[in-house]
């Protein structure tokens, strides 16, 4: 599956990913200690929803635009993050994870970004101009391990690949295992697309064998049954989610499910612990 950010900016997967990322970082910021925020596959940082690539799929109509039409107060933080890069009521630009993380920075926090694709890295540097973010242009998996342990006592690593390589899941599994050995207390967030439930269940079984404690998975299934050959939703693996985040999760997930359910489907967002809490 090839999942380039620019074609899917502002879709339902982005809405869930970024809503949960905001909630996660804010939960960690209940403590004053500095955070290092790292994005291994940062993309361009900012996307034009009226541009050719986004218009080719039109997925924002079923994602961010639905949330802007939904009055649920629990989605206010997400809407505010999108509105911060826009003028007017309807969003024309969409902030990627780097822009959203930059909005969340406190003076003591650090933001380190990586994007291997040269054109995207150039766009990322432009999008992050005026922020304190450092931008690297390296292999994402080498970069992930090289950044650990973080310079501050606490940190978050966001792993959001395009899944265009057949060995992407194997590389994630191997790198996560090595990263956990180096940085067992750190928070890691891994995004993944969902197609068939059976295929995904096999990967979850492999990850469960890593024996990582406090390993949460959140999965958003758009449809009430698998739709063959198409994108069916997306999920997040979260290692060491903070307690304040997990406690606040159920009502936020219900608000997201209700806002994003396609016509004729209820959809579902499920959580499961792959390791003991």
Choose, from 14, 39, 109, 160, the residue flagged as catalytic: 160
Distance (Å) of CA 230 to CA 2, 35, 83 = 12, 37, 30
Q: Residue 197: what are its φ and ψ, rounded to 5°?
A: -60, -40
What does DSSP say about strands 46-48 and 93-95: parallel, antiparallel, or unpaired?
antiparallel
Please tell me the distance from the alpha carbon of residue 9 to that of residue 6, in angstroms, as a whole number: 5
Please tell me the distance from the alpha carbon of residue 45 to that of residue 95, in angstroms, as a whole number: 6
Residues in CB range of 17: below 8 A, 6 or more apart: 97, 160, 191, 234, 236
Q: Is 120 a catalytic residue?
A: no
Identify which of 40, 10, 61 has the alpha carbon closest to the alpha carbon of residue 160.
40
The DSSP secondary-structure symbol of 163 reads: -
Catalytic residue positions, numbered: 160
């Amino acid at each position: 599956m090839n999942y380039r950010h620019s074609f899917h900016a502002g879709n339902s997967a982005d809405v869930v990913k970024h809503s949960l990322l905001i909630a996660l970082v804010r939960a960690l910021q209940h403590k004053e200690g500095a955070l290092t925020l790292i994005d291994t596959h940062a993309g361009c940082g900012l996307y034009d929803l009226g541009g050719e690539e986004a218009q080719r799929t039109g997925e924002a109509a079923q994602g961010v635009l639905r949330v802007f039409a939904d009055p649920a107060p629990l989605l206010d933080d997400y809407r505010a993050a999108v509105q911060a890069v826009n003028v007017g009521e309807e969003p024309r630009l969409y902030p990627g994870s780097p822009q959203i993380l930059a909005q969340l920075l406190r003076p003591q926090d650090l933001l380190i970004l990586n994007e291997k694709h040269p054109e995207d890295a150039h766009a990322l540097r432009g999008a992050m101009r005026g922020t304190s973010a450092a931008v690297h242009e390296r292999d994402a998996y080498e970069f992930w391990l090289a950044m650990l342990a973080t310079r501050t006592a606490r940190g978050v690593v966001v792993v959001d690949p395009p899944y265009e390589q057949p060995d992407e899941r194997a590389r994630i599994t191997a790198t996560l295992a090595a990263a956990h050995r180096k940085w067992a207390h750190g928070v890691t967030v891994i995004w993944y697309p969902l197609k068939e439930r059976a295929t995904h269940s096999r990967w979850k079984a492999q990850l469960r064998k890593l024996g990582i404690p406090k390993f949460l998975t959140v999965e958003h299934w758009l449809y009430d049954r698998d739709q063959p050959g198409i994108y069916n939703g997306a999920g997040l693996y979260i290692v060491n989610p903070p307690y304040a985040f997990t406690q606040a999760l159920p009502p936020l997930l219900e608000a997201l499910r209700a806002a994003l359910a396609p016509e004729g489907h209820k959809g579902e967002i499920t959580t499961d612990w792959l390791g003991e809490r």
